[in-house]
Structure 1
Amino acid sequence: MTDAPPPPRPARRAWWRRVQRLPLSMMVASVLAALGIVQLSFQLGHMAYRSVTWSAETRQTLARVAALEQDARVLRDAIRAANDPAYLEQLARCEGYVGANEKLIVSSDAPTPRFPGDNCKALRVP
């Protein structure tokens, strides 16, 4: 026999021996904890994405509701004014009509309107 030290064992066996020393329940708990961390990270990221998306959609919906309320207000005003003779007379004047007892005086320097009814401010109706 020689006094030389025994040959070193392969690293693969050393790793397997260390694994064999750990209790099986601790290894399973570690794997489950790692999976839980991955799932929690995914859930937090998904929750942040949904929060941002929900906030943007809420702002868009509120803007759309405000526009629709404005449209409804304009339509209610138009319905109310449709029976008002003064409003109807104003619309007729915008279209270029003149009353029966009125005289029409046109200046030779007056600009020609581009479109009929271009005399008055256009009102947006939904």
Structure 2
Amino acid sequence: MTAPDPPPSHPAHGLRARWRQVRRLPFTLMLASLLAGLGIVQLTFQLGNLGYRSVTWVRETRETQERVASLERDVRVLEEAAAAAQSPAYLEQLARCQGFVGAEEDVIVAVGAPETPGENCAVRRVP
């Protein structure tokens, strides 16, 4: 013997369930569209922010590299000045710039020379 078939469900009950699903469909689509729109807005903002940060980063990197190059030049000049400060030829040249003369040299002064002489050499900037 086979088990009796269950009584058929009321056709109106199945129809109502389907109608509720159909009525919810527009709300679900509107909600999905709203969320998709918000996602697009957020993506657009993030892409714009990424572009702005990239441009800013490139500019600041370039400025930093220029500053580093300037500081490296200053270090090189200072190292050259420190090395030259130990050289007897440089010290003699510096003394001559300040008006000193050697022990066996004669000093000749012009008739119209000023009382306080100025520097004979150009001043070099040291960083």
1:79-110 per-position Cα deviation (integer Å, ceiling 9, x unaligned): 11111100001111111211121122234567
Question: Who wins on radius of gyration, i.e. which is larger?
Answer: 2
Cα offsets for 1:5-35 (capped at 9, x unmatched): xxxxxxxxxxxxxxx6753221111111111
Gaps of 5+ in 2: 1-22
Among 36, 50, 57, the residue aligned to 2:39: 36
Partner of 2:109: 106
Structure 1 residues without counterparts, runs of 5 or longer: 1-19
2:41 alignment partner AA = V
* Code of the aligned partner of 2:35: L
State the identity %. Answer: 61
Please report the TM-score for the alignment, with normalisation by the length of structure 1: 0.71
Counterparts of 1:65-84 in structure 2 under 5 Å?
65-84=68-87
**Alignment partner, residue 26 of structure 2:** 23
Residue of structure 2 equivalent to 1:88? 91
Q: Which residue of 1 aligns with 2:8?
A: none
**CA RMSD of the aligned region, Å?**
2.3
